[in-house]
């Protein structure tokens, strides 16, 4: 018959102090993991979408009017972001009016904005090559998702704006 009561020979007793150390160790690991996650979250996305919500709200009605005027023009504008074999990213914009004729003489700018890292953002002034086709290049873009904002100006007035999310391959 075996003896069920009493400590086994050579085993350390499970005391209140042991339980306290286990609890402190458990919560120390949880707090350390949370601290790492918070540090990574704040470092990858600062949480600021616009610098001043008040100013953005004041410009809201003008943005709506600009969007209606843009829709009334009926322009057909397509933008493409691709990478060549040498690693350089190219932006190509084709602009046509509602009848399909090329739009020439505009000043196109492309803003490549990384969704989470503001430091990676790039502004490209596009130049017109052939009639109605505007292009530019940027080196050093990371692969992944990018917000591509294309704006066109004519006589110092913004006449077109488009924002799309695209995926840039390696």
pLDDT digit string, tens, across residues 101-138: 999 989 999 999 988 777 788 899 999 988 889 999 98
pLDDT band at 6 (very low <50, low <70, confident <90, very high): low
19 φ, ψ to 5°?
-60, -40
Quick check: 3 pLDDT over 60? no
Share of the chain above pLDDT 70, in %: 92
pLDDT band at 88 (very low <50, low <70, confident <90, very high): confident
pLDDT value at residue 35? 97
pLDDT band at 4 (very low <50, low <70, confident <90, very high): low
| CATH architecture of the domain with residue range 74-168 | Sandwich (2.60)
Tell me the domain boundaries of the chain. 15-45, 74-168
Q: Locate 68 and state its tokens.
A: 């209606």
**What mean pLDDT value characterizes the chain?**
87
Highest mean pLDDT (candidates 39-43, 79-83, 98-102): 98-102
Of 120, 126, 142, 130, nearest to 80 by C-alpha is 126
| Total residues found in the chain within this entry | 170
Helix (H, G, I), strand (E, B), or coil: what is residue 137?
A: strand
The strand pair at 89-96 and 133-138 is best described as antiparallel
pLDDT value at residue 53? 86
Tens digit of each residue's pLDDT (9 = 90 or more) over 23-35: 999 999 999 999 9
Distance between CA 114 and CA 45 in Å, rounded?
A: 10
Of 150, 155, 168, nearest to 95 by C-alpha is 150
């Amino acid at each position: 018959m075996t003896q069920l009561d009493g400590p086994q020979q050579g085993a350390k007793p499970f005391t209140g102090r042991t339980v306290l150390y286990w609890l402190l160790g458990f919560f120390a690991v949880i707090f350390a993991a949370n601290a790492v996650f918070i540090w990574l979250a704040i470092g990858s996305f600062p949480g600021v979408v616009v610098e001043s919500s008040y100013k953005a709200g004041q410009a809201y009605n003008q943005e709506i009017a600009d969007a209606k005027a843009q829709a009334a023009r009926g322009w057909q504008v397509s933008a493409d972001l691709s990478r060549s074999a040498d690693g350089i990213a190219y932006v190509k914009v084709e602009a046509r009016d509602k009848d399909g004729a090329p739009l020439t003489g505009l000043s196109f700018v492309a803003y490549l904005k990384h969704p989470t890292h503001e430091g990676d953002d790039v502004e490209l002034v596009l130049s017109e090559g052939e009639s109605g086709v505007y292009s530019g290049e940027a080196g050093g873009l990371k692969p992944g998702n990018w917000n591509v904002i294309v704006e066109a100006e004519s006589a110092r007035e913004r006449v077109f704006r488009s924002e799309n999310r695209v995926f840039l391959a390696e």
